[in-house]
Every structure is written in structure tokens, then in C-alpha cells.
Amino acid sequence: MKRTTLTLLISGLLSTNAMAMAPNTDLNLMPYPQDVELGSGTVSIDKEFSIFIKGYDSDRVQFNAKRTMERLYRQTGLPMLHWQAESEKEATLVIDIRKGPKDEVQNLDSDESYQLEVTNGQVRISSERPYGAFHGLETFLQLVTTDANGYSVPVVSIEDEPRFKWRGVSYDTSRHFIELDVILRQLDAMASAKMNVFHWHIWDDQGIRIQLDNYTKLWEETADGDYYTKDEIRYVVNYARNLGIRVIPEISLPGHASAVAHAYPELMSGMGEQSYPQQRGWGVFEPLMDPTNPELYTMLASVFDEVVELFPDEYFHIGGDEPNYKQWKENPKIQQFIADNNLDGERGLQSYLNTKVEQMLEERGKKMSGWDEIWHKDLPKSIVIQSWRGHDSIGRAAKEGYQGVLSTGYYLDQAQPTSYHYRNDPMPTGITVDDKLHSGEKFETYDWVKPRNKGGPRKGNLTIIEAKDGTFRAFTDYNGKSREEVYILEYVPGVKFRGHFDNFMSYTEFNYEFAGGKLKEGSYQIIGNVRWPATGELIAGSAIEGSVIPEPNGGYPAELKGDEKDLILGGEITIWGENLDSMTIEQRLWPRSYAIAERLWSSQELTDERSMYQRMSVMDTWSEISLGLRHHADATMMLKRLANGADVTPLQTLAKYIEPAQYYARHWEKWISTPNKGDLYNQYERLNRFADALPVESLAVYEMNDLVAEYAKGDKAALAKLALHYQTAALAAQQAEPIFANNVASVDTVKVAQATVKVAELANTLIDLANKGESVRAADVAEYQRVIDENAIILDETIVAIVKPTENLLHTLAK
């Protein structure tokens, strides 16, 4: 299979196949409904707008009707003083709910379908149950537009229901405390995206943020006074319930237990007299709860009793991830317990604990959920596994009959291209490339090694097969993960290879040059937007006698069939709090969450990334107006803080052309930033850098990549627009440099401004050549590439994003 990838819009991240298969998306809606029939004409929204509730009514229904009016006022500014219609006939909007909720507490089986009809001067939202109507109101609010004639919604017929039952956000408020008003605002935003699960991560190494009447040291001695009272939690749960959102607590065990260890060290698995400091750092730590200690179950029972009373949802999350078994391995008493009970080592001991916890939760009317590590054959099929390990893990669990929710690929605490998240479907699909060598075909396999700033190197291989018709296909075995197709962007056998795939945590691009059977110096992988050097050599190929394509060292990806697919319940965004606080968390979540919400709600065939970006841009502004989201307002405030009284405009302009280093690169930069590595990889690290105020991706640079591609196709007019971008970026950088230099928080950002100017100057040189119809001399290509490479590195946790279109332009002119 030969597959090309467009540079348009997202420069190598947007697939032609995705565009070709996309259903029609005429309206600016996210998530896009399952079935939309757009008619002609509109229904006006004016001061006479009114709502009539037909059929089932309740406090929750009234809450959502009133909330709709409040937001309609935000969107239009029109006073609508008589919005409660006396009759169905006179109403502008009719909410017709046929029946009340089937169960008092919303659950997986709650009906969320709705119909929306705009015709004959009226809007009608119909649903079997209230939850569908709530979603219909969100669609209605997204439909409201304005022009010179007034406000209106288009004549349209919509039939809609979610593809997946579980569409959530796992929200970390332990590592950094997140203020209550921010949480409530996120619930509003979640509802607007038709998300229905708020997974509240209130318990981790760095703090336990929930008030408890018993075992009070859990929060008194670990949360620095920043915790949620029981009344606040009840308020959040009730507010979410009104919006049709379930709230699930997470109480982590047996690992991520440093806070418990600090408060109650006797519950840990160390030997002798135990004492543990308050944990401020990030990572995986030694304290591990002792499953052989009866006092542990007394504590857990007390905590469960109090937490269950606050959270009515049927599920209760126990964490279970990343246990460090060191204490269990080194404790003779625990090892004897494992032997006496014929347990399967430390993994079996964790399963023993989970089985007891599952029984405790069942006694309290709860079903257990947890991360991949809880999966064990001894646990009942009622549990839900939340996967951070990816499709391999969730797929294999489903093969064994277990329900799962995918979080891999939805980590929004990481800066990543939204297109990467959008392509990430929760449903495992199996291998997508023919990895077998057929008669008349040739192949080459290269091993590669990529270092990291923290942790060991990543290793893998890349195999390229040339078919008899001269087309190529490629795949990789990436660091023990299952075999994945690599989409080829450019390949000259024995000379160079460029291709990309989405690994389980990031967009990954191979940029390799070959010489003498090895990867040449300067070969690299792009992870997100960061270049990482790679080394390697040819280990197998048709020219090497007796060699064969290596077997996949991570096996093949799971492929689900029939009823197995029903076990994939959906997905959860994860927003971990190491580098986020109340001021920065919103811009990581929004507007990107709309794209993931669409992947979880809408048709699997909806894959047009260009449409996604266009509609997400509309949602970006709409969410500020309709919901009051502060992702842009908070970023502007941070830039004003850096400007220190100077004009903030240059910083705002430069921010359009710079990106935060993506994936975990910023974490690793913090790790290596001090002579004693890790000294600032903790709660003491500042979150006031230029990088902290940046959007996760540069839409301006995507446009610049478009312009380079248009020029490559013969459109010389694109050069003038491209030149304007570079001039704008360079001027902003020049003006920003002294501003950065005058603030202790941005002194290190001066080099970002300087690098921007250097790259822009090179780009202008290339544009001058292009305008003259000249190509780049072979003697100059290496020097120009050197300038690009020198400025493509991480600078103060950022990437000068204009490097990409500049390199594309250089390659275009060098051909």
C-alpha cells in the first residue's frame, strides 16, 4: 500500500484518506451529530424568544432551561425577559422529554439520544429521557449564528446519539490543587462537548485533597490546607448531575501512596520503624501499602464509607497503576505471605489486595475501576479497566471479556497536535499493513536507538518493503509495542526515509539518511514537535543472504470482533497536574477536548482533520463567549505578567509562531535543568514561563506550511503571504527580546526571540530566491540546513515552530 500524506494545514499530520472518507460537515458543531439534514431558511432568535417544556419536567430540566437562557444572553446580548412560554404553540423552543430518567443515578445505560428539528418558525428538541434533551440544548446553542439581519438558527433536522457510552475527563487535582470555580467551569465545558464522566483524581503522592472525618491526617498533613470540603464535593457532584455528568472518585492503591505514607507510615510495607517525608517530587516512589496488615483494610473501609456517601455513581476508581514492588520484594514477612497463600509473586499479591477491595466496594454497592495494572483473571468481569498502556492492553483485556476505557492518546497535559488525538480511536483495529514479504518483493530492516533526557533510550526497528510494482510500505516495532504501519512521506532506497505513525503516546516521525548500511549522523525522530537524534544500522534485507524480516517483538495489535467491540466503553481525557495549575490547566484542555469529544461521540467515519480544525477554531471562540472559558484570558494575563508594564502585543504575536516542546519534553528539560538532576522536578518548580502561556500548537505555522505547499505546486502568489508571516514573526521577536530580558521569569526566553529572527532571516533569503525563480545552490544547502538545525532545538522549553515551513521551503527550492 502506498500512502501519501499532505503537508497542508498540519504539515504531515493530516492524511488524504481521512479527508476522502469524511461525511459532510456543513455546520460548526462539535461533536458533530450522527445525522444532519440541512434545509433552507432560518428561525430568528430575538427578544421574544421563549421556551416551553413539554412532557417530563424536573428541577434538573428547569436548571438546564434557565442555563440555556443565560448562555443565549451571553451569545447575543439580547434581553429575553419573557422566556417562559405559556403554551407549546407560542414558544420558540420546545423541550419535549417523553419520560423521566429510568434510574435515580445516571449510569452507563442511560439514554442520551435526542432529535432536534428547526422548522416552521420553531425549534423542537425531543428525547426519550432528560439526558438527551440536555445534549440537544448544547447543539442548539452551537447552532446560533448572527449576521447583519440578526440572530438565528438554520432550518435543520438532527438525529443524534453517542457512539460510546463513556466519554470522560480524568482530572488531577492532587499534584497541584485546582480551585473550585475552575472545576465548575470545566464541568460546563464538558457538558458543552457532550462529555458525561468527570473522573476526580483527588488522591496521589503529593496530596490527598478530600476532607475526611476519620483518618484526618490524610488531608490535614498532606494537602497544605488546599483540599475540598465535603460540602464542596457535594456541590460539585450535584452541579455535574444537573448537567448530565457522572462523577467518579479515585482513591489510589497500593502505589502512589506517598501521602498516605507521610500521614500513616505504619500502613506501608517497609521494615522497622517507618517514616516518610511529605512528597513534593514527580515520579514513581517506594511507599507501597501493606496488604498483609489488617489495619490497612480498617483504614480503607473507613475511607470508602465516607467517599461512597459523597459520590453516588456506580463506579469507584482504585488507581492501581505504577506500583513499585521494591518494598514487597525486600520484606521477608510479605514474601512469606506470598508463599503461604500460593500467590503469583508481587503481581499476585496486588491481585489479592484488589480482590479484597473489590469485595469491600461491592458490599457498598459499587463496581470497581482502575488502571491497566488491576487486570487479573481473578477479578469479576464487572470491573472497568482504564488504559494508559494503549490499544494493546485494552484490546487484550477485551479478548478476556473485560470492559475498558482508553486514555492513551488523550493525555492533554502533554502538548500535542490536536490531529494526533483526533486520529486516536478507542477501538483496537488490528494490523493495518501487510508485513509479509511476497514473491518478487524486496525489503530492508534497520535497527534504531533514540536517547531520552530522562529514563533509558527507546529502541526499535523500521522495515521497508518494495513491491513488484515499485510502491513501498513500511512498519515499525517500537520499543516493545505491537507492530505498527509507518506512513511513508519520502523514500529513496539506500539514501533517505521519512515517514510517520502515531505511537501509543505521541505523533512520531522518522527522518533518516543512510550511508554504508548505517543511519547517517543527523538522522532523527520527531516526537510531537521535538527532534531526537537517532542512530542505527541495517540488520536485515534482501541483499543480505539468509536474512528475513524480524518477527514483531511486541506482537501484533489486538483486533476485536463481534461482541468484543461492545466491551470498549469509550475513552477518558487525562490531565495530569505536574506542570499545571489553576491558571494554565484550561488552555491544555480547550479547545482540544472538543476534538476528542467528537471522536468519542460521533461517527467513526468522521475523520476529516481539516474540517475538525476549522470547526474547533469556531468552538474556541464560542466557548469563551457562551461558557466563559478562560483559556485565552489566562494566557493573556500570563503574557502581561511577563511584559511587566510594557506593551504585551509583541509577546502575543510571537506566541502565534512558537510552540511549547511537545510530549514529555518539558518534563525532561526540567529534570536536567539543575546540576543535581531532578531538583526542580517537583512542586517547587515555577509555572510562569513564556512556554506556560503558549497554545499547544501553532495554527499560523500550519498556514505557513500550506503556503509552502501551494508554492511547490506553482502558486507564486503564496510567497507574498508567506513573507508577511516571517516579517510579522521577526518584528515581534525583535520587539519581544528586550521585554524578555527585563523579567527574571523570561531572561532565558531571549534566545527564543533571537532564534526566531535567525530563522525568519533565512526564510526571507529563500523567498527572495524563489521570487527570482532561482533554486538554492548545492553549496548553500548544507549551510542553510545548519542554521535550521541549530534553531530546531528546545529553547526555554519551547520550539521555534517556523523552523518547519522554512525547512520545507529549503527542500522545495533545493530539488
Specify the fold of 166-427+561-591: TIM Barrel (3.20.20)
313, with CB counted inside 10 A (0-12, 13-18, 19+), is buried
510, β-bridge pairs: 499, 525
Q: What is the predicted pLDDT for the residue at 398?
A: 96
Phi and psi for 645 in degrees, rounded to 5? 95, -15
Q: What is the predicted pLDDT for the residue at 23?
A: 59
Domain boundaries, the chain: 35-160, 166-427+561-591, 442-541, 629-814
CATH value of 442-541 in 2.40.128.120, 3.30.450.20, 1.10.10.60, 2.60.40.1150:
2.40.128.120
138, β-bridge pairs: none
CATH value of 35-160 in 3.40.50.1170, 3.30.379.10, 3.30.390.50, 3.40.190.170:
3.30.379.10
SS3 of 742, please?
coil
Say which amino acid occupies 338: I
Answer yes or no: are the C-beta atoms of 304 and 327 closer than 8 Å: no
Q: How far apart are CA 161 and CA 800, in angstroms?
A: 42
Answer yes or no: are the C-beta atoms of 306 and 356 closer than 8 Å: no
Answer yes or no: are the C-beta atoms of 246 and 200 closer than 8 Å: no
Q: Which residues in the chain come in under a pLDDT of 70?
A: 1-24
Range list of H helices, 672-717: 699-712
Q: What is the predicted pLDDT for the residue at 564?
A: 97
Q: What is the predicted pLDDT for the residue at 130?
A: 98
Return the closest-CA partner of residue 500 out of 604, 420, 431.
Answer: 420
* Cell 412560554 belongs to residue: 85
Answer yes or no: are the C-beta atoms of 106 and 195 closer than 8 Å: no
The catalytic residue positions are 322
Q: What is the predicted pLDDT for the residue at 1?
A: 32
- In whole angstroms, what separates CA 212 from the centre of its chain? 32
Q: What is the predicted pLDDT for the residue at 49?
A: 97
3-state class percentages of the chain: helix first, strand second, coil last, to nearest 5: 35, 20, 40
SS3 of 106, please?
coil
Answer yes or no: are the C-beta atoms of 619 and 715 closer than 8 Å: no
Q: Is 345 left (phi over 0), alpha (psi -120 to 50) or beta?
A: left
- CA count, 13 A, side-chain hemisphere, 805: 35
Range list of H helices, 150-293: 180-192, 217-220, 230-243, 258-263
Q: What is the predicted pLDDT for the residue at 815?
A: 78
The separation between the first and the last C-alpha atoms of the chain, rounded to the nearest angstrom, is 26
Extended beta strands in 467-506, E state: 472-478, 484-492, 496-502
Q: How far apart are CA 62 and CA 171, in angstroms?
A: 28
Burial 418-427 (b: 16+ CB within 10 A, else e): bbbbbbbbbb
Q: What is the predicted pLDDT for the residue at 168?
A: 98
Q: What is the pTM of this model?
A: 0.95
Q: Tell me if 166-427+561-591 shares its fold with 442-541.
A: no
Question: In sequence order, which residues have a C-beta less than 8 Å from that of residue 53 and are 6 or more positions away?
Answer: 61, 62, 65, 95, 97
Q: Is 774 left (phi over 0), alpha (psi -120 to 50) or beta?
A: beta
Q: How far apart are CA 92 and CA 138, in angstroms?
A: 16
SS3 of 610, please?
helix
Q: How far apart are CA 805 and CA 815, in angstroms?
A: 16
799, β-bridge pairs: 659
Q: Angle at the Cα of 75 (from 69 to 81), degrees rounded to 5? A: 40
* Cell 416551553 belongs to residue: 52
Give the three cell numbers for residue 586: 484550561
Q: What is the predicted pLDDT for the residue at 25?
A: 81
Whole-Å CA distances, 562 to 398, 565, 567, 601:
11, 6, 10, 20
Q: How far apart are CA 807 and CA 516, in angstroms?
A: 26
Q: How far apart are CA 795 and CA 752, in angstroms?
A: 6
Answer yes or no: are the C-beta atoms of 732 and 654 closer than 8 Å: yes
Q: Angle at the Cα of 604 (from 601 to 609), degrees rounded to 5? A: 90
